[in-house]
Amino acid sequence: MSDTPGSLIRRAVVAACLAFIVAVPAFAQSPAPPSPSPDFLTRYDFHLAANALAIEDPRFSWETHFGGDLDLVDYVHGRASMLVDYQAVLGDQLRPFDPNQSYYVLEASSSVRVPGVEIAGVFHHVSRHLSDREKEFPIAWNIFGLRALRRIDVAGVTIDTYGGAGVIAGHSNVDYSWTADLDLAIRRAITSHVGAFVRGHGDVFGVDGTGNRGTQTGGRVEAGVRFNGRAGALELFAGLERRIDADPLDFQTERWGIAGFRLVGR
């Protein structure tokens, strides 16, 4: 039976509780204004999110996500940054809340600011793991790439965008050879404490031919409301996602609806 809007809302409410019990695709680095002089630990962003998945597959019921992104050093003309991220996918095959797989992401970058844009060199590592299932082989890949970030403020609207591309420098049990991605976030304040946002993200993975398939494409689009507090913000959102290789073992793209929440630093 297909998930109804009511069942998706009920799942989103449970997801909000679940994220505080268990550890929680991607969290995009945002542009940052330069420090007036070289400085240490000039920015720290934290995110904690959970959302329900609307799909007729017992492997995919919930997604939880948390991590941190910080600037280690701002040298005025650029910055050195680090990101650590963890994502879990839950189904209901073995129990009502069954965390069956997880992603670990480590990223280091160094950037240079030029008029209107920030350009960064990036090392990005991803590893995938199963939970309560046997897997004796690694699933992982490394990316060396470039990323461009830009922020535009116009008529009370903030637009953050980035685009990146890279080569897969090393991989285990995946057929990826290169990748590119694009992220766009549009935000508008309604009051001092409430705002609205729309965000879209797209991924492309080139392949090396060993998996007998062509270039893979995925993406996510969401819209929601943001409630700003003194030290952080709460975002409530809904949207759609197409995920490349949603299960680490069967190399199939899946599509689902999403509804959930996200806690972020201001």
Percent of the chain with pLDDT over 90: 79
pLDDT confidence of residue 27: 52
pLDDT attached to residue 19: 35
Segment 42-64, tens digit of pLDDT: 999 999 999 999 999 999 999 99
pLDDT in tens, 168-221: 998 999 999 999 999 999 999 999 999 999 999 999 999 999 988 999 999 999
Q: Within a 10 A sphere around the Cβ of 257, how many other Cβ atoms?
A: 16
User: Which CATH number applies to 5-265: 3.40.50.1970, 1.10.540.10, 2.40.30.20, 2.40.160.40?
Assistant: 2.40.160.40
pTM: 0.85
**Residue pLDDT, tens place only, 3-20:** 444 554 455 444 444 333
pLDDT band for 122, please (50, 70, 90 cuts): very high
Quote the pLDDT of residue 33: 82
The secondary structure of 148-199, three-state, reads EEEEEEECCEEEEEEEEEEEEEEEECCCEEEEEEEEEEEEEECCCCEEEEEE
- Rounded to an integer, what distance in angstroms lies between the CA atom of residue 171 and that of residue 126? 9
